[in-house]
Structure 1
Amino acid sequence: MSTALRAAVSVAMLVGFYVLGLLQLAVVGFLLYEIWTHLSGLGAAKLSWVLLVAVGAVVTGLWRAIRSRPSEPEGLLISPEQAPVLWQTVREMATEAGTRAPDEIRLVPEVNAAVSEDTTLLGLIGGTRRLYLGMPLLQTFTVDQLRSVLAHELGHYSGSHTRLSAVAYRGRAAMHETLSRVGKWNVFGWVFKGYGRLYLLVSNAVTRQQEFEADQVSVRVAGLDAAVSTMRELPVIDAAWDFYFGRYVAYGWEHGYAPDDIFGGFGQLYAARTEELARLRDQEPDTETSRWDTHPAIGERIAAMRALPAVQHAPDRRPAAALLPQLDGTGLALQAAVVNFGDREVLPWAEFTAASITAVQQRRADRIFRSAGRRLGVQEAGLAEIFDLVTTGKLGELAAEFFPNATRKEAAVAFADPMDDLITLAAVRSGVATFQHSWSAPARLVDAAGEPVDYAEIAKLAVDPQTVEEARERLAAIGVHVDAARVVESKATASGADVLGAMASLKVDDQDSDLILLNRGFVFVPAPKGSGEGEKRLKEMLSNNDPAVLAGLYRFVPYEEVTDAKILKAVPISFELTLHDGTSIAVKARWTGEELGDSRDTVEAVLKRISERAE
């Protein structure tokens, strides 16, 4: 499809979107005229209000889309003076690709590369060109592979794919703003939803074809072997990036800690996890894609590359970092530019890992300590109090809360695993053990000499009234103070919690409320009386607030404080929660209430689990 035709299609569809809005305004105007011509009084006012509310959401979305502008460029700007070899490589490859080189190169914290261009007059006049390079690519690719990525992105320039980026942005912004503001019962929104789906189908089909065209440039300029190797390596890097943030960064981040070198850490992990990465490389890439995807499947792209005429290129297997000197320092500069640490404590990696895992251990322990405190009637409890429960033969009562399908005797025996975690926490707090960081394997618990330690045997002794004193003596002998493990959060919080679902416009103890369901408990948020647009309200609330913030601002009921849950009515759902202090909470959904996704089913599943736990 030529550039002119592509522009015509995009502009025509975008204009058509706004024309739909004008037509609907005209229809509403006609209907209002008919209503007030044939009706009067309260009936006419109600019908008019319904029409105005329905079309108002559409008009608001369109108006916001008209006024929207692309965001400011992101990432760390890299000047030719900072990276002369990289800039020279990009300019030489631009000449080979038959296009003008970018005016800016920016590093971004993504496993991705992209290009953009500021244009005017629907792409007829070019402007500033920007090349975005993901830092993880520079850390993991060879020079050949990076050249392949650069050639692909420059191919978007030579194919004039970026000339319409402003138009495409405006079109997608219009779709998103408008469709996000219309409810599922808004008849006027149905037309826009159908049109939006059609626009995305056409737009995505165009972008998939553009990817094939850019791949052709990649093969011609950088070579077939480099292009195929790059395609196969990208999913590996992406999986490693997700693993890195999920297993190394996220734990501490949620608990108020941050590593001092985020991007440098990824480079070290990638170098250390050779066996796991090799297994990922052995997997065949996907060959199927959806018509809703913006990119073809990797297997499909590789097949298309291999069908092109072969072009020979001298291999360059040096690390891509050779094109950007002082990559470690550049990573720290990128971190300073794009990462917001907030009030988190920044630590070197070894200390960060130890502090992060200790915080996770403490949170798990706090859950047990709070339960022990409730049973003992004390404000704060710790491992010493749990040892006392063992001594008096009452551990089974506490353990049954965590092993609901076991008898009290069985639960006391099974409590050896949680007891192991509590003793580990006491050892860390006593200074005789710590969690040792590793890039090639999970962190392990070691003593002061760096030797692995295991408290499982002592934990088994500690859950039996006959041997609990022996456990206490053995711990004292190795310097572990039982009193060192105590509750830190005496009241459950939603820190680090995830949202499972949300329901709008319920009655909670006869008060109009919205329900935010977290993986740690219920959050009840006061709602306007008899208000509509519940789905919109929920989306805005969750997009603008962290779940923990909502739990702190409004009524938060942790699952651990709920002793029983009864579903009184299935549809619309009505249920009652009973708390440890004997109070109850009555929740009733309305027939007209709205929800996000299948939240009602999720709520029911959570209530059933609580009920089973209570039996």
Structure 2
Amino acid sequence: MTSCLFRCGGSPRPADRRGEAGMGSETVKQRRFSGGWRPAATVAMIGGFYVLLPALPAAGVALVWTAHVHGWPVQLALALAAGPVWAVVGTLRALFSSDPPEAGLRLERDRAPELWRMVDELAAAAETRAPDEILLVPEVNAGVTEQGNWLGLRPGVRRLYLGAPLLACLTAGELRATLGHELGHFSGRHTAWSAAGYRTVAGMEAAGSTGGPAGLLLRGWLWLYLKVAMPLSRQWELEADAVSLDAAGRTAAVSALRREAALRHLEDDYAHAWFPLAILARRTPDLIGGLHAYLGAPGRAAEVAALAAQDTLGALEPETGAWYSTHPPLDERIALLQRLPAPEVAADDRPAAVLLPDLAGAVAELGRSLVEELSAASGPEEPVADWAQIVERAAAVRVQLSAARHTHRLEESGVLARADLASVLAAVESGRGAELAAPEPSWQEDDNASAGRRTGSAVVLAVLAEAAVLATGRGGYRLDWSGPPALLVDGVPAGLGEAAARAAADPAAVPELRRRLAELGAPPDHRPDRAAFDFPDEILTVFGNVALRHRTYDLVICTHGLLLLRRGVFRLAVGQQRRLARLQARGRTALHARRHARAIPVETLSSIRLVGADSAKLDLRLTDGSTLRLRTTAESVGDGPVDVLRALVADPPAVALLGEPAAP
């Protein structure tokens, strides 16, 4: 199953009038923040790139001619000249490729008349052309694009992308602020600038990936361009925020930023907690319907409010504010909105869903289209299933896997000669419950994170008890969007988590747990068999060209660990995606047999630590005390390994499959 959490494009900047339709008398042009020298420098660097690019092949041709005339090694000259030629080819392909529009459900005017009326009103007030299309997208986001020609400098089709969760969870006033922000990007011509910048950056990346002296020079040019241009993008976001302030007032504008950040945080939680269930169950789910059910679960609105009310929001979106980020930190944006003068705008506390009466039908339509796409990619091996079926299947497999892992660990470490249920209960009753606790690999995002955690004896005991009940065939798990799946036996909650917690805390409570297990028919001699539930060692993804101790490797992430495949000194930078696809198709066994391949079993991983704010370095700490620092480079290609590695270390046998079942 493809675990693709939808994220649409963002936006660029604003510049509009506020004298109409609820906007203030001051114009947006008067509120623009000076870009200083950066706009001119950005244009100069774009122009310089297109001057530099053809000059490099010319220099290569001159080098080959000189080598031929003077009798120098022509082969070396040809090798050096090949890089600039490939740079030009790659750049032309990047510049003139036509990207298909983002997928989404097109909302015609007759389907969402109130939404279109609000968009038209805000566009008129901003003195900008309204979008030609509004597309409903699955993610917690909104964005605008303008598909023009000549690097985006000629006006073209304007599209507004609106996340369905925003309609479901915001108020109409907050959505008005969000729409004002996005239309501000149109009025300020940010979409045209960002389109030109996007194409140029794509060309620079293609040119810089060629390797050799030319590639090094072009990568340096790209780095310098981003250092100059990214602050300009962050300035555009602040200008767009000023437009949202005039569109909806201070309260709605600030609340929209806060609540969107909270919703994005919960969207990420949903992806990390629920996507792995579908992988574990080997089923294709309705990801979009699941997200809406998750956000609409009892108590979730209070969770959104609590997250949005935090004094500082940096923890919700830590990547904003970095030098390469397109958006300023949330706290900086909110502080600006609090400082700027704002018009009095009547609060509109209606649910934003009133702007699209058929929101449920639109979400279902979006979900069906994504399910069809995922089902076609997954094939018959992963049939479509609803979330109740997925949770029932996956939660059982997860508990059985985890129980088998703990059984293996307790026996290998000598804590118990045979780790069946009766022996485990006897150990806890005799006061040895603390010995059940297991060292647990950890994910660390900064140097202050704890070096590791321990899976408590209560969790281990609950897992082993639930696995024994599942062996009777009477138990099953019930979907609960508000918390972990609950084990039911004959339709009644088993209550084993609470009983296990009491037994772990007080050995005198073990008889109570033993009686409860007997009532449920759990066999005392039950001992989970890891081989019955384990997964084949399959390749999950391949990340190309990561650096480790001055050498370059391909990082292969498998179900049961990692493979590092050393790359040669001389390597082409073209066709990388095809090369990675071929590696993945060869299979883990064939790759492991390659010369200089290094296997890192997941059991040997102690922790993974993100180094720095740019996610460019990962420290893999091994159980023998050594550390491997993997570093992405300008030549790195493929899906980022961070999330996959994070999931991998959370539950060793089954990779991206969740950690321990939740503690009671």
How big is the shift at 1:235? 1.5
Q: Is 1:341 aligned with 2:374?
A: yes
C-alpha root-mean-square deviation of aligned residues, in Å? 5.0
Q: How many percent of aligned residue pairs carry the same amino acid?
A: 32
TM-score (norm 2): 0.67
Cα deviation, 1:300-334, whole Å, max 9, x if unaligned, reads: 22232233332011111111111111222211111
Q: Give the aligned partner of residue 613 of structure 2.
A: none
Mapped contact 2:126–2:183 kept (Cα < 8 A): yes
Mapped contact 1:7–1:164 kept (Cα < 8 A): no
Matching residue's letter, 1:141: L
Alignment of 1:319-468 (within 5 A): 319-339=351-371, 340-342=373-375, 343=378, 344-365=382-403, 367=405, 387=420, 418=460, 420-454=462-496
**Cα distance in 1 for residues equivalent to 2:184 and 2:127:** 9
Cα deviation, 1:554-599, whole Å, max 9, x if unaligned, reads: 448683899xxxxxxxxxxxxxxxxxxxxxxxxxxxxxxx999999
Q: Give the aligned partner of residue 510 of structure 1.
A: none
Q: Is 1:262 aligned with 2:290?
A: yes
Cα deviation, 1:28-59, whole Å, max 9, x if unaligned, reads: 2222222222225xxx1442243134435433
**Cα distance in 1 for residues equivalent to 2:586 and 2:297:** 33
SS of the residue 1:126 aligns to: strand
Q: Give the aligned partner of residue 162 of structure 1.
A: 191
How big is the shift at 1:371? 8.9
**Cα distance in 2 for residues equivalent to 1:123 and 1:114:** 16
Alignment of 1:100-249 (within 5 A): 100-120=129-149, 125-179=154-208, 181-183=209-211, 186-249=212-275
**Cα distance in 1 for residues equivalent to 2:343 and 2:586:** 57
Matching residue's letter, 2:561: G
Q: Is 1:293 aligned with 2:325?
A: yes
Mapped contact 2:469–2:520 kept (Cα < 8 A): no
Q: Mark the CA change 1:203 to 1:60 in structure 2 (over 3 Å): closer, same or farther.
A: same
State the number of aligned residues: 533
**Cα distance in 1 for residues equivalent to 2:83 and 2:255:** 52
**Cα distance in 1 for residues equivalent to 2:574 and 2:402:** 35
How big is the shift at 1:87? 1.3
Q: Mark the CA change 1:334 to 1:271 in structure 2 (over 3 Å): closer, same or farther.
A: farther
**Cα distance in 1 for residues equivalent to 2:543 and 2:422:** 35
Q: Give the aligned partner of residue 583 of structure 1.
A: none
Q: Highest relative contact order (Cα 8 Å, sep 6+), 1 or 2?
A: 2
**Cα distance in 1 for residues equivalent to 2:235 and 2:262:** 24
Mapped contact 2:583–2:591 kept (Cα < 8 A): no
Matching residue's letter, 2:367: Q
**Cα distance in 2 for residues equivalent to 1:152 and 1:455:** 48
How big is the shift at 1:345? 3.9
Q: Mark the CA change 1:306 to 1:368 in structure 2 (over 3 Å): closer, same or farther.
A: closer
Q: Is 1:18 aligned with 2:50?
A: yes
Mapped contact 2:137–2:163 kept (Cα < 8 A): yes
Q: Give the aligned partner of residue 567 of structure 1.
A: none
Q: Mark the CA change 1:537 to 1:295 in structure 2 (over 3 Å): closer, same or farther.
A: same
Cα deviation, 1:47-101, whole Å, max 9, x if unaligned, reads: 2243134435433432332342223332111111221221122112211222221
TM-score (norm 1): 0.71
Q: Mark the CA change 1:273 to 1:494 in structure 2 (over 3 Å): closer, same or farther.
A: farther
Mapped contact 1:152–1:217 kept (Cα < 8 A): yes
Q: Give the aligned partner of residue 551 of structure 1.
A: 588
Q: Mark the CA change 1:416 to 1:230 in structure 2 (over 3 Å): closer, same or farther.
A: closer
Q: Mark the CA change 1:539 to 1:360 in structure 2 (over 3 Å): closer, same or farther.
A: farther
Q: Mark the CA change 1:549 to 1:480 in structure 2 (over 3 Å): closer, same or farther.
A: farther
Higher Rg: 1
How big is the shift at 1:149? 0.5
Matching residue's letter, 1:307: R
SS of the residue 2:477 aligns to: strand
Cα deviation, 1:359-415, whole Å, max 9, x if unaligned, reads: 22233345568899999xxxxxxxxx9649969x9xxxxxx999799xxxxxxxx99
Out of 11, 20, 32, the residue aligned to residue 64 of structure 2 is 32
**Cα distance in 2 for residues equivalent to 1:598 and 1:346:** 27
Mapped contact 2:538–2:559 kept (Cα < 8 A): no
**Cα distance in 2 for residues equivalent to 1:219 and 1:560:** 50
**Cα distance in 1 for residues equivalent to 2:169 and 2:241:** 21
**Cα distance in 1 for residues equivalent to 2:583 and 2:292:** 28
Q: Give the aligned partner of residue 110 of structure 2.
A: 81
Mapped contact 2:477–2:486 kept (Cα < 8 A): yes
Mapped contact 2:148–2:154 kept (Cα < 8 A): yes
Structure 2: where are the runs of 5+ without partners? Answer: 1-31, 427-434, 441-455, 504-509, 594-598, 605-634, 653-664
